[in-house]
Structure 1
């Protein structure tokens, strides 16, 4: 892998993992336009590790409080808000784990096309805009509740469709439930921890079975770049989301979807 390719793909992964704009849509674009080959399983695992480190470092205090409170609820310390948050994250993760394990082969075979990615990018982008307009945007994350967490978890299943954006679709569900933009984003980021961890472990299992296909220098550089770009992305997104709203991301998603459709239908002709 050329260094330019490594840097670009790692930064793209780091940014798009948490912005509501779909990482799969962005990773396919340079490959189609520049003719790049697949970056390999080792690199995939490395950038997943990088993005996981970024979100863990940024939310380290929240993660520690939630984990301690959740474990404490089993030893008589009461069910605090943080303990409930732990249960909500678990509940919201279960649907995508079950569906991902069941539908993975079907998705890999039938849904990884440019047309599907483009259509999902546009459609779910417009639904995100609808949620932002329809929701009250008044409820804090602490009032999400079990039903709300389950609703977000069920919505997260749609993220299995390439082009949907996991962060985008979970924010959409939270906004429909009346969450503030920042609360929707924060829960989406916390919910990404078990999802990214699970995806990394799944790919890691395949890597062990197939063997490494890249140098440790390439893998380490990819992980570091993905971690840095993801951390900056999280920090800036949470700082500005209440002010800028979701419209810029929706416009971007629609434009990207149109470009991908052009690649699919115009370039081959």
Structure 2
């Protein structure tokens, strides 16, 4: 029963933090460190279940956008008409995916082992809190995603690559980069969510061979379904909430949350917890 409850809690944490600008990897790492809730002891297949859940959520939420962009890319071949907003958006998403895919492939082991420390999470949350505030101060919040330059998409892709660091929110890094480059908050969030699809799908595909080597049991299957279901449901609600949130509010709220969490974690670590 305890294992099932932990699987649901980890799925909820994944669903909330995958798309909100607060870092899913950082929160999962802190949860594992302070409460002994270790997703890795459930196996690689459980970790994949959490990511599959959040992937399903974003695909379902943006299914019409993804279908239109996918069809636009297909009909654009072999001579793409970049004046078409949907064709242009498709190629912008492809370009934005490249940096994280390349850096993740080259340095995956470093990100997953050497840099997995609560102090790295504290530093990342603090640093990106200032990035959120800076982006709100400097961004002019006027462009739609389809009107971006290709260099803008590449820069947002670099921001996504930086989010491989524990404690750096993927959505926070990409949304703040989009806002800095002039996108409205809602457009930056939409582009961020859409570009999460290929990178998450790639990460899941890369983990499948290792998961296939694990001995599958009915109990592991139950944990898989619990984590998957919790992650998918909560991630869908998180996407809906954040898009509505950005129609009225800014990234500053998440910056202040990051500062507060960093302070609490720092005190606990200094006290020897």
Whether TM exceeds 0.5 here: the answer is yes
C-alpha distance in 2 between matches for 1:128 and 1:212? 42
Does 1:102 find its partner at 2:106?
yes
CA contact (8 A) 2:15 2:233 kept: yes
Question: What residue number does 2:46 align with?
Answer: 43
Q: Is the 8 A contact 1:46 1:220 kept in 2?
A: yes
What is the CA-CA distance between 1:264 and the residue it aligns to? 2.6
Contact 1:96 1:157 in 2 (8 A): yes
Unaligned runs of 5+ in 1: none
Alpha-carbon distance change, 220 to 91 in structure 1, aligned in 2, over 3 angstroms: same
| Aligned residue in 1 for 2:228 | 223
> Which structure 2 residues correspond to residues 108-127 of structure 1 after superposition, within 5 A?
108-127=112-131
The verdict on how the C-alpha distance between 1:30 and 1:106 changes in structure 2, with shifts beyond 3 A counting, is closer
State the 1:67 CA deviation. 0.3
Q: Deviations over 1:170-202 (max 9, x none)?
A: 011111101100011000000100111111112
Range with bigger deviation, 187-196 or 73-82: 73-82
- 2:67 maps to 1:64: yes
Residue equivalent to 2:92: 88
Q: Which residue of 1 aligns with 2:148?
A: 144
2:14/2:231 contact within 8 Å kept? yes
TM-score, normalised to structure 2's length? 0.93
Question: Higher mean Cα deviation, 162-171 or 72-81?
Answer: 72-81
Contact 1:132/1:246 (8 A) holds in 2: yes
User: What is the RMSD computed on CA atoms of the aligned residues?
Assistant: 1.7
Is the contact between residue 170 and residue 188 of structure 1 (CA under 8 Å) also seen in structure 2? Answer: yes
Secondary structure of residue in 2 paired with 1:108: helix
Is contact 1:72-1:78 (8 Å) kept? no
